[in-house]
Amino acid sequence: MNTPLIDPFARAITYLRVSVTDRCDFRCVYCMSENMTFLPKKELLTLEELDRMCSAFIDLGVEKLRITGGEPLVRRGIMTFFNDMSRHLERGALKELTLTTNGSQLERYADDLAAAGVRRINISLDTLDEGKFADVTRWGRLPQVLRGIDAAQKAGLRVKINTVALKGFNEEELPKLTEWCAERGMDLTWIEVMPMGDIGNENRIGQYWSLKDVRAQYESAYTVSDLAERTGGPARYVRLEETGQKIGFITPLSHNFCESCNRVRLTCTGELFMCLGQEDKADLRPALREHPDSDLPLHDAIRNAILHKPKGHDFDYSRQRLDGQMSRHMSHTGG
């Protein structure tokens, strides 16, 4: 049996987030510029290569696989990949296969995802106002996403809503979003906007709404109980006693969450980022493509990459400038 992946700070790496495409059918103002230049399709790993890459990580102890993008469900043939990954669920090596999506394609794919073994999904949704939704996504349509959420729940998928906290945009919607999620049995996680990529004329600092203020709003309206739950990831959780729902806070800017990090991110081109908030990466493509008959070089390349995982990131808005800003877009690394 292969020994598990352990980074230099004694953290076991058991969670892989995989961006299967940098393309998206939205152009969210905090994520992309409106006129994006996407990678040439020939540079992307094929679905077969993604399968082999993910399977190598699973062989080395990864137990949770989250598929991201861009928008993962716009990748042609993506359900073939999900169906192939389900074999690792069936043999017990993989404990969870899941995805993060904008919800636009769920009306079409929800049943297929459930059949492939997906049991819960994260859906990005920043507002319930149709006009504001069109503004923040530029190309998105709220009714399409809401139908996708309906389809996901009908298919038996547990849905968690991810909302980016945007100052001056969705501050007043906190009660409405919270109650709407509670009525549908959905948990809600708030995320601080992160300095990733050139987004044109948008003002990062102007967008930043600290989750300390979000929590203060909850405490003024609800009985808020801290939860001890930890996933090795960035979220910290509370329970609203009045609704019973779980609220998460992902705070890369107001709180460094790296001490228990158990994850790495693989891009659609085969680059492995050991930290979302650092530029260091390892290119796994040579080990994959130059050795078609053996995964041992790929295993060695993965292990070597994990040895370079940093202790943490350095996102910082405290001095009113974008310290720790990443040049790549979130859609490249995977949300």
d(CA 169, CA 207): 8
Specify whether domain 15-333 bears CATH 3.30.930.10.
Answer: no
User: 194 a known binding residue?
Assistant: yes
pLDDT digits (tens, 9 = 90+) for 253-298: 555 557 778 999 999 999 999 986 676 899 999 999 999 999 999 9
| Contacts of the segment 320-326: beta carbons below 8 A, 24+ positions apart | 320/205, 321/205, 322/195, 322/204, 322/205, 324/195, 324/277, 325/195, 325/196, 325/204, 326/194, 326/195, 326/196, 326/197, 326/276, 326/277, 326/279
54 is in an annotated binding site: no
Indicate the domain borders of the chain. Answer: 15-333
Task: Name the least confident of 26-30, 112-116, 263-267.
Answer: 26-30
> Going along 193-295, which residue ranges are E strands?
224-226, 235-240, 246-250, 263-266, 271-273, 281-283
Residue 199 has pLDDT above 50, yes or no: no
Check whether 316 has a pLDDT greater than 50: no
Please compute the mean of the pLDDT values over residues 154-169 and round it to a whole number.
96
Closest of 175, 166, 187 to residue 231, by C-alpha: 187
Closest to 111 measured CA to CA, from 148, 139, 84: 148
62 labelled binding-site residue: no
Cβ pair 163, 188 in contact under 8 A:
yes
State the residue for tokens 């779980």: 246
Q: Looking at residue 68, what is its pLDDT?
A: 97
Whether 258 has a binding-site annotation, put simply, is yes
pLDDT tens digits for 221-255?
999 999 988 765 678 999 999 999 999 999 865 55
> Cα 200 from chain centroid?
22
Is 17 labeled as ligand-binding?
yes
23-27, 43-47, 105-109, 311-315: segment of lowest average pLDDT:
311-315
Cβ proximity of 225 and 241 under 8 Å: yes
Q: Is 327 annotated as a binding residue?
A: no
The predicted pLDDT at position 141 comes to 96
3-class DSSP state of 319: coil
**91 labelled ligand-binding:** no
Q: Is the pTM here over 0.85, yes or no?
A: yes
Does the annotation list 136 as a binding residue? no
For residue 41, say whether it is annotated as part of any ligand binding site: no
pLDDT at 3: 78
Q: Express as a percent the part of the chain with pLDDT over 70.
A: 84
Encoded tokens for 255: 């709180």
Write a three-state SS string for 17-78: EEECCCCCCCCCCCCCCCCCCCCCHHHCCCHHHHHHHHHHHHHCCCCEEEEECCCHHHCCCH
Looking at residue 201, its pLDDT comes to 47
For residue 91, the number of C-alpha atoms closer than 13 Å in the C-beta half-sphere is 8
